[in-house]
Homo-oligomer: A and B are copies of this chain.
Amino acid sequence: MFMQREPRSMGPSSITGAAGYTGFAEGLKLSATARHREKELIYAQGDEAGDIFIVEFGCVRVSRITLEGRRLVTGFYFAGEVFGFETGSERQCYAEALEYSGTRKFHLEDRDLTNPRIADMLFDYLESTHQHLLILGTQNAIERVAAFLVGIADRRGGDGPRARLPMSRSDIADHLGLTLETVSRAIHRLQVLKLITLVGARDVILLDREALIDLGA
């Protein structure tokens, strides 16, 4: 299995809730790298909140289950990105490794945002949440999927218009407020429109990034 291990992902945060940083570690007491097997739970709903995580390699999915049992995937996080912000003392979300992944964490004491680095991370997270909200509030299926793919590709940095999708169609669907079948059909339509090419089910090549952005922005 090919494991992507990018040095860093920069770029503005995207719809999947990323906050990319270089040099984020300065001034933060980071834990040693914890390694997680595929599907391993990193934290659970109900856990005590307060730890913030940084992805070293791999990909993490953060989700939340509603009272009716429906799932919202709040974000996917790649190398260099930060996840784990919560507003209460108990976690409402849970996080899992989508593939073999490494994370480091630091403790956020009592909502202490005096460290401007942490404040920036929180603002970036807020921005990605706004972007996600805009997509769920205003876009249709094909627009959502287009925006999602552009967001993923942008964050994977230097490797051009190609991106691997470590998440399933069902994960994408629950992130975009759609069903997995609708996601599959939207991807198919994007191929017919010659805006993307699929290589297998989990690799996409963006053929016309501008058109995708026009659709999804």
- Which of A's residues lie within 8 Å of B, judged by CB? 1-3, 5, 48-50, 64, 66-68, 70-72, 74, 85-89, 92, 107-114, 116, 119-120, 122-127, 129-130, 132-134, 136-138, 174-177, 217
Contact = CB atoms under 8 A, between A and B. Distances in A.
Nearest to A110: B1
Contacts of A134: 64, 66, 72
A5 to B, nearest CB: 8
B136 A66 contact: no
Chain B CB within 10 A, most for which of A2, A108, A110, A116? A2
A55 B27 CA distance: 37
A138 B67 CA distance: 11
Nearest to A85: B126
A86 B127 CA distance: 8
